[in-house]
Amino acid sequence: MTVEHFDKDLFEKKLRDKVAYAEEVLLRHLPKEKGFQKKVIEAMNYSVTAGGKRLRPVLMRETYLLFGGKDTTDIEPFMAAVEMIHNYSLVHDDLPAMDNDEYRRGKKTTWAVYGDDFGILAGDGLLNLAFETAVSALDLCFEHHGEEEPATEEVLEKVQRVSRALKVLAQKAGIYGMIGGQTADIEAEKQEQPISEEQLIFIHAHKTAALIQASMMIGAILAGAKEEDIKNIETCAYNIGLAFQIQDDILDVIGDSKELGKPVGSDEQNHKQTYVTLKGLEVAKLHVEQLSREAIALVGGLTGEDSFLAQLIFTLIHRTK
């Protein structure tokens, strides 16, 4: 059986279960809506619970399991954290000063409901809460360890893995990752000359792929994967992220607005240059296919082509919404 011919009904059932698990983990880590800061917490929770594929936490958990991770509670703080970071970036992306979008996933965006001031604060709050949540993974390292006992080799190894995972999360979300990609995107929109392919690849690789890389690398790191495997997963996630964003550009041209939950043709309307405008629709489709093949081959070398993770990669990249 090839990855294109898997049992789609069985896959979708498994995916629903895995997304539900990620959703439950995320909801468990959201703050209570109370106190003088209640309104910003409401805006934060609205942003996170307004829908989403939960792609990043699912990929993190699947990668963790792929490399032999046993207790998935070990990665739950990071699963919640990466989704908070992803959603904070969307909240800020929708702001009037950025893309000025009033709808996302078929619902009013955070700033459109709470005002752009609380849109800014909600994004800031989610980013800070993400790292507060991720750092709590250190507590889990000592969960079954007596306070008076010296740290065992196993505990120290767990702490080292969490420390590295935190570094990866910070780098991939920061100026050398997602924020760097957003910066390049804004500057490209303001420049007089057409965007170059090098610029566009940089934007997609950092703005979109970086958090997918963080998710899958963290899963591998916390499971104790070998260094070579972590590097391969980083490459695999790069391909997934790049293909995912190019597919997004394609769907903005040929997608169904009802299925997508947002208007199509917005890139052209906003005179935004994308991979499709740069290379053409057919070349863009071919590049998506090439990137997806390479990503699946990397995962398939570890799991076999019929694995859930390989099927998930194929489905995400070739999605219609």
User: What CATH number has the domain bearing residue 191?
Assistant: 1.10.600.10
* Number of independent structural domains in the chain: 1
Domain interval for residue 66: 3-317
| Confidence (pLDDT) at 4 | 67
| Confidence (pLDDT) at 243 | 92
| Confidence (pLDDT) at 210 | 97
C-beta of residue 46 within 8 angstroms of C-beta of residue 114: yes
Q: Which residues touch 16 (CB under 8 Å, ≥6 apart)?
A: none
In this structure, the dihedral spanned by the alpha carbons of residues 47, 50, 51 and 52, taken in order and rounded to 10 degrees, is -20
3-state SS track over the chain: CCHHHCCHHHHHHHHHHHHHHHHHHHHHCCCCCCCCCHHHHHHHHHHHHCCCCCHHHHHHHHHHHHCCCCCHHHCHHHHHHHHHHHHHHHHHHCCCCCCCCCEECCEECHHHHHCHHHHHHHHHHHHHHHHHHHHCHHHHHCCCCCCCCCCCHHHHHHHHHHHHHHHHHHHHHCCCCHHHHHHHHHHHHHCCCCCCHHHHHHHHHHHHHHHHHHHHHHHHHHHCCCHHHHHHHHHHHHHHHHHHHHHHHHHHHHCCHHHHCCCCCHHHHCCCCCHHHHHCHHHHHHHHHHHHHHHHHHHHHHHCCCCHHHHHHHHHHCCCC
| Confidence (pLDDT) at 1 | 47
C-beta of residue 165 within 8 angstroms of C-beta of residue 222: yes
C-beta of residue 203 within 8 angstroms of C-beta of residue 185: yes
CA angle in degrees (0–180, nearest 5) for 122-42-182: 20
| Confidence (pLDDT) at 129 | 98
115-150 burial code (b ≥16 CB/10 A, e <16): ebebbbbbbebbbebbbebbebbeebbeeeeeeeee
| Confidence (pLDDT) at 146 | 58
- What does the block give as tokens for 52? 């989403």
Angle in degrees, 0-180, between the axes of helices 116-135 and 38-49, rounded to the nearest 10: 80
Give the predicted TM-score (pTM) of the model.
0.91
Residue-by-residue pLDDT tens, the chain, 321 positions = 466 667 888 999 999 999 999 999 999 999 999 999 999 999 999 999 998 899 999 999 999 999 999 888 889 999 999 999 999 999 999 999 998 999 988 899 999 999 999 999 999 999 999 999 999 999 988 876 656 566 788 889 999 999 999 999 999 999 999 999 999 999 998 888 888 999 999 999 999 999 999 999 999 999 999 999 999 999 999 999 999 999 988 988 875 555 545 555 555 555 677 889 888 999 999 999 999 889 988 887 776 555 888 888 888 887 776
| Confidence (pLDDT) at 189 | 85
